[in-house]
Amino acid sequence: MFSFLNRFALLLALTVVIFIGSAQANTLVLTGNPNQVYSGINVGPYPVTLDAAPALVFCLDDTKTANWGGSYAGTVHTPNTAAEEEAAFLASYALYAGSPSSNGPTVSGVEGPISFAIWQIMGTLGSTPVDPNAQKYVNMAQYAYTAGLISQDFLNSVFVFVPTDTTIQRFISAVTRPAMDVAATPEPGTIVLFGTGVMLVALSRLRRRK
């Protein structure tokens, strides 16, 4: 009786492990080249399918590679580190700022610098130089994170794809969240009011001295 129960428990545990393993298996396919080249590098977002569902993604690893049309097995999880959360924010902000687009101004002002900013945040630039144009996006992502603008509800809608082959890039999905993106962007009116306030304070001090 004891032996039978042990065997039953072992069989049940193996069944659960096999089920969970199969449930977590995912397939990502890079469906096409978006022709977004910045500093000689193909930058995101890239069109993909994840388990046949279309999505847009940015890669998280500048030091690794993947091929157009390539199909990759792996697993997915929601962003669970500060760097992944900031990368998720920047992927969302790229959509807010007009991505995806292969026109020059968008590639050079949005998609390229944001891709470099993601690699800088993730610490995966390798030998690629830090891009000065990316710093404002790094600052914006860090502000969004420290100000608590990146909600768990948003993060639950984002996936990070981790390929089984560790030589292949990881990817993070770009999910639009305009309210978050706007909140992380200083409004021109706010800047004008701030500048006007500074000028008024300076003038009042000057008058007192006279």
CA atoms within 13 A on the CB side of 132: 0
pLDDT, position 23: 47
Rounded distance, CA 136 to CA 71, Å? 34
The residue extents of the domains of the chain are 2-194
pLDDT, position 10: 36
Mean pLDDT split into 10-residue runs, the chain, 210 residues = 40 37 77 94 97 97 95 98 98 97 95 97 90 96 96 98 97 96 72 43 45
Strands 71-77 and 26-30: antiparallel
Among 52, 134, 149, which Cα is nearest to 92's? 149
Express each pLDDT in 21-43 by its tens digit: 444 689 999 999 999 999 999 99
CA 77 to chain centre: 13
